[in-house]
């Protein structure tokens, strides 16, 4: 059913104006009072009519503007009321329909948070171990490269040459990061 804003507006406006100027309203009472007071003064009927018309024009203008604004608001609310109720019903149905999904998502989020916590805990344990294993691998690689280079070049490896490299590899494998050594081919020594 098509709704006609203009028709509804004019209907509401007409009702408001009729209510505003009917007998017993401040509008009607003030005009009656004014007419009664004119009788107490010595003024002509023409002057009474002019003063009454001016007063009615001023008061009617204010009443008309108020009625127009109020009719606009009431018409708007009247036309939107059914749509707003329908939208609220739809939102309610959507909320009810998606409730199981929200519960499932909440459970999934809880499980994911627990898995992330367990992963972080395992990672905190595994990280130091991986550093140690990486140091062993790096030490073995250094040692293998060093030995390989000397063998390829046909060089001879004597004890004075092996001590520094073995000490370096040992320091890496034991994760002794503060371990230092000094190398003097005539006097091999180590410090820590």
Residue of 67, 52, 51 whose CA lies nearest to 13: 67
Number of Cα atoms under 13 Å in the Cβ half of residue 152 = 6
Cα–Cα distance for residue pair 74/67, rounded to 1 Å: 10
Q: What residue ranges do the domains of the chain occupy?
A: 5-107, 115-191
pLDDT in tens, 99-154: 888 788 888 888 888 888 888 888 777 777 777 777 777 777 877 787 777 777 67
Three-state DSSP string of the chain? CCCCHHHHHHHHHHHHHHHHHCCCCHHHHHHHHHHHHHHCCCCCHHHHHHHHHHHHHHHHHHHHHHHHHHHHHHHHHHHHHHHHHHHHHHHHHHHHHHHHHHHHHHHHHHHHHHHHHHHHHHHHHHHHHHHHHHHHHHHHHHHHHHHHHHHHCCCCCCHHHHHHHHHHHHHHHCCCCCCEEECCCCCCEEEC
Which pLDDT does position 187 carry in this prediction?
53
Which pLDDT does position 178 carry in this prediction?
41
Which pLDDT does position 2 carry in this prediction?
52
pLDDT in tens, 4-22: 778 888 888 888 888 888 8
Query: pLDDT band at residue 47, thresholds of 50, 70 and 90?
Result: confident
Cα–Cα distance for residue pair 162/147, rounded to 1 Å: 9
């Amino acid at each position: 059913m098509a709704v006609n804003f203009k028709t509804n507006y004019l209907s509401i406006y007409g009702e408001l104006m009729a209510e505003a100027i009917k007998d017993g309203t401040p509008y009607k009472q003030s005009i009656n009072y004014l007419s009664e007071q004119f009788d107490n003064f010595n003024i002509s009927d023409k002057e009474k009519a002019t003063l009454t018309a001016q007063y009615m024009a001023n008061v009617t203008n204010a009443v008309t503007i108020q009625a127009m604004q109020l009719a606009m608001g009431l018409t708007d609310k009247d036309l939107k009321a059914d749509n707003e109720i329908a939208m609220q019903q739809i939102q309610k149905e959507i909320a009810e329909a998606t409730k199981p999904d929200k519960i499932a998502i909440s459970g999934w989020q809880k499980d994911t948070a627990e898995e992330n916590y367990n992963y972080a805990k395992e990672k905190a344990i595994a990280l130091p171990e991986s550093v140690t294993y990486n140091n062993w691998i790096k030490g073995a690689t250094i040692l293998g490269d060093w030995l390989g280079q000397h063998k390829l070049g046909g060089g001879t490896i004597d004890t004075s040459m092996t001590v520094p490299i073995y000490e370096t590899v040992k320091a890496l494998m034991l994760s002794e990061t503060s371990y230092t050594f000094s190398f003097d081919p005539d006097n091999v020594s180590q410090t820590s």
